[in-house]
Amino acid sequence: DTAVSQTPKYLVTQMGNDKSIKCEQNLGHDTMYWYKQDSKKFLKIMFSYNNKELIINETVPNRFSPKSPDKAHLNLHINSLELGDSAVYFCASSQNTDREKLFFGSGTQLSVL
C-alpha cells in the first residue's frame, strides 16, 4: 500500500492550459504539503495544510490553488500554465507530533510546452 500517492506521474501540457495534480495519504497524518523541485533539484515548499486549513503559502502565484477536501487529500490546481511552471511537484505529509518527518509521494513531473 502506497503511503502518499499522487497522480499523474507525468503531465505534459501546452502553455495556457489548466491542470490538476491529486494527492492522497493513508497514514492518518494531520499535515500535508506541496513542494516544488526545479531542474537543479532544489526543493522548495509551496503550501502546507493542517487539518484542511491553509497554514503556509510561500508567495506562490495565485494561479496555483491548493484544495484540501479532507485531511487525507490535498490537490493542486494550476491555471494558465507557464513555461516556468515546468518542474517536479511533490506532495508530502507528516504527523503533528513529528512535523519534521516528511513522507513524500513519488512526484509529478510537469512539462509545459
Partner 1 sequence: GQQLNQSPQSMFIQEGEDVSMNCTSSSIFNTWLWYKQDPGEGPVLLIALYKAGELTSNGRLTAQFGITRKDSFLNISASIPSDVGIYFCAGHNTGGFKTIFGAGTRLFVKA
Per-residue binder mask for partner 1 (CB under 8 A), 17-56, x = binder: --------------x--------xxxxxx--x-x----xx
For the bound state, the minimum distance from the C-beta of residue 79 to partner 1, rounded and expressed in Å, comes to 25
Binding of residue 2 to partner 1 (CB under 8 A): no
What's phi and psi for 83, nearest 5 deg? Answer: -55, -40
Measured distance CA(90)–CA(108) in Å, rounded: 7
Measured distance CA(41)–CA(5) in Å, rounded: 20
Instruction: Please say which residue, 14 or 59, places its beta carbon nearer to partner 1.
Output: 59
Report 58-97 residues binding partner 1 (CB under 8 A): 90, 92
Binding window for partner 1 (CB under 8 A); candidates: 14-22, 63-71, 76-84, 104-112:
104-112
| 62-71 long-range contacts, CB within 8 A, separation 24+ | 66/34, 68/32, 71/29, 71/30, 71/32
For the bound state, the minimum distance from the C-beta of residue 72 to partner 1, rounded and expressed in Å, comes to 17
31 and 95 in contact (C-beta within 8 Å)?
Answer: yes
Interacting residues toward partner 1 by CB under 8 A = 4, 31, 40-45, 48, 50, 55-56, 90, 92, 99-107
